[in-house]
């Protein structure tokens, strides 16, 4: 009974902290602007199954893709065992889901095998981060905090797998030593239990309790650490893929603020009407101008660097990293959201996302080729936020590179991007046979 009370206290603390974090994120999302209507649910489910669950984009880098997929699938399978542990802890029973019969056997066997596979994968990932300098893990935006954040998360996952194998191994050993029925099938732990065969059953039981409590408390801690780390994508990647852009990459959406202003001007009743309310800002200057999808993208970012590694501007030495842009959105929102929540959208700290975080040089270096968005394993739309910051520069400040200003002038004067008058546009046809 005491252990149930202790477990319930830890569970309530975990749920309380997680609820507080969730509420804070909800309040921040309310600061953002609408993005697009969520339609075509059937297509969205198909995209989610393909990109998120089947991990299709990850396999473009076969070795790391396979290892990451094993970790992802392993977590999905092991989640069943985690639910069972919560039920066991609250009710004070053992293997509460055993009534599920053959499905329980399959779930426990899969979880046991995946625990080993995930352990091996995580050891490889840790070794790669400690001993191998992977170019796409480096960059101006990848500070020491990011690297330690990744190592901490990988270490916690490794401990979760070790304690899970410890639970199963000591359970099999204890049940065998006492001639008790073993619920579930444990292919890996069955062989590992041989190493515990010489131990006293009481020691086996102690091993089981230590690993059981270690595992569940790690889960509780991990759930509340993730929302403040780059590994928040564990929670956010699937929703982000489900809510990703379904239109072809590169399609530019109309700006609601522009459409609204044009309609007001075309309406005789409102065209000359005086209004004290200032028009909405065109484009994105700071985080209060971004859409909820822009912010969701930033939370789902895994910082894997696949986007930057294929960016032609970055490859050729330009000052642009698509990963940095997305990380800057997240960092700036984290910095400014406290003031926005307290004082509203009138709050200013005399800084902005554009210029203080993202320079105009970065913005104009983008070729909008969408290689970054194509490569991203969680369907982040990097060019979308870049285009919106360009829109602010052009429409609010009239600020653009000279070549683009010349093109604007040609369009205004000649009806085309070229510096020839409309009357001369067909002169080339006279020279053709």
Please give the backbone phi and psi of residue 393, each rounded to the nearest 5 degrees, phi first.
Answer: -60, -45
CB 149 within 8 A of CB 229: yes
pLDDT reading at 157 higher than 70: yes
**For 14-23, 99-108, 145-154, which range has the lowest pLDDT when averaged over its residues?**
145-154
pLDDT reading at 201 higher than 60: yes
Average pLDDT over residues 256-285: 72
State how far the Cα of 144 lies from the Cα of 128, in Å rounded to an integer: 16
Same fold, 2-30+61-233 and 256-414: no
The percentage of the chain sitting over the pLDDT mark of 70, rounded to a whole number, equals 97
Nearest to 281 by CA among 360, 392, 390: 392
- Could you report the per-residue pLDDT of 74-102, keeping only the tens digit for each? 989 999 999 999 998 998 888 889 999 89
pLDDT of residue 425: 77
Residue 62: band (very low, low, confident or very high) from pLDDT cuts 50, 70, 90:
confident
Of residues 197 and 24, which shows the higher confidence score? 24
State how far the Cα of 234 lies from the Cα of 247, in Å rounded to an integer: 25
Q: Helix, strand or coil for residue 242?
A: helix
pLDDT of residue 270: 63
State how far the Cα of 14 lies from the Cα of 220, in Å rounded to an integer: 6
The greatest distance separating any two alpha carbons of the chain, rounded to the nearest whole angstrom, comes to 100
Residue 48: band (very low, low, confident or very high) from pLDDT cuts 50, 70, 90:
very high
Residue 30: band (very low, low, confident or very high) from pLDDT cuts 50, 70, 90:
very high
State how far the Cα of 124 lies from the Cα of 312, in Å rounded to an integer: 30
pLDDT of residue 277: 59
- Could you report the per-residue pLDDT of 302-327, keeping only the tens digit for each? 898 899 999 999 999 999 999 999 99
The tokens describing 107, both together, are: 């779930």
Average pLDDT over residues 343-359: 90
Residue 344: band (very low, low, confident or very high) from pLDDT cuts 50, 70, 90:
confident
Average pLDDT over residues 174-195: 91
Query: According to CATH, what is the number of the domain 256-414?
Result: 1.10.1060
3-state secondary structure 63-81: HHHHHHHHHHHHHHHHHHH
Domain-wise residue ranges, the chain:
2-30+61-233, 256-414
Please give the backbone phi and psi of residue 277, each rounded to the nearest 5 degrees, phi first.
Answer: -80, 125
Residue 279: band (very low, low, confident or very high) from pLDDT cuts 50, 70, 90:
low
State how far the Cα of 368 lies from the Cα of 371, in Å rounded to an integer: 8
| Choices 3.40.30, 3.40.50, 1.20.950, 3.40.630: CATH for 2-30+61-233 | 1.20.950
The tokens describing 359, both together, are: 């320079």
Nearest to 71 by CA among 125, 146, 137, 132: 125
Residue 149: band (very low, low, confident or very high) from pLDDT cuts 50, 70, 90:
confident
């Amino acid at each position: 009974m005491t252990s149930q009370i202790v477990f319930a206290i830890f569970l309530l603390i975990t749920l309380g902290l997680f609820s507080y974090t969730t509420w804070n994120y909800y309040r921040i999302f309310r600061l953002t602007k609408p993005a697009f209507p969520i339609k075509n649910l059937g297509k969205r489910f198909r995209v989610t199954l393909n990109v998120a669950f089947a991990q299709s984009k990850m396999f473009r880098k076969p070795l790391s893709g396979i290892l990451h997929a094993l970790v992802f699938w392993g977590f999905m399978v092991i989640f069943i065992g985690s639910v069972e542990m919560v039920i066991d802890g609250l009710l004070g029973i053992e293997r509460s889901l055993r009534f599920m019969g053959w499905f329980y056997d399959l779930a426990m066997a899969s979880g046991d095998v995946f625990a080993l596979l995930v352990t091996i994968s995580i050891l490889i990932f840790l070794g790669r981060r400690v001993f191998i300098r992977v170019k796409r893990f480096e960059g101006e935006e990848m500070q020491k905090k990011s690297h330690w954040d990744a190592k901490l998360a990988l270490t916690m996952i490794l401990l979760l797998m070790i304690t899970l194998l410890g639970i199963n191994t000591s359970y099999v050993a204890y049940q065998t030593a006492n001639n008790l029925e073993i619920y579930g099938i444990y292919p890996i732990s069955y062989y590992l239990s041989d190493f515990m065969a010489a131990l006293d059953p009481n020691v086996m039981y102690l091993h089981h309790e230590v690993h059981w409590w270690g595992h569940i408390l790690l889960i509780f801690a991990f759930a509340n650490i993730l929302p403040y780390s780059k590994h928040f994508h564990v929670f956010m990647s699937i929703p982000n893929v489900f809510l990703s852009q379904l239109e072809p990459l590169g399609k530019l959406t109309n700006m609601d603020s522009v459409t609204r202003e044009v309609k007001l001007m075309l309406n005789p009743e409102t065209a000359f009407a005086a209004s004290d309310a200032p028009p909405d800002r065109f484009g994105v200057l700071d985080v209060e101008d971004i859409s909820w999808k822009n912010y969701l993208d930033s939370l789902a970012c895994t910082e894997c660097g696949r986007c930057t590694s294929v960016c032609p501007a970055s490859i050729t030495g330009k000052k642009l990293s698509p990963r940095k842009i997305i990380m800057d959105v997240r960092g700036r929102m984290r910095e400014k959201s406290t003031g926005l929540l307290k004082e509203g959208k009138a709050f200013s700290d005399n800084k902005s996302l554009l210029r203080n975080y993202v320079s105009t040089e970065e913005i104009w270096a983008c070729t909008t080729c969408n290689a970054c968005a194509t490569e991203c394993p969680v369907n982040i739309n990097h060019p979308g936020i870049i285009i919106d910051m360009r829109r602010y520069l052009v429409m609010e400040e009239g600020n653009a590179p000279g070549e683009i200003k010349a093109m604007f002038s040609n369009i205004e004067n000649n009806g085309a991007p070229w510096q020839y008058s409309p009357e001369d546009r067909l002169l080339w046809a006279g020279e053709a046979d």
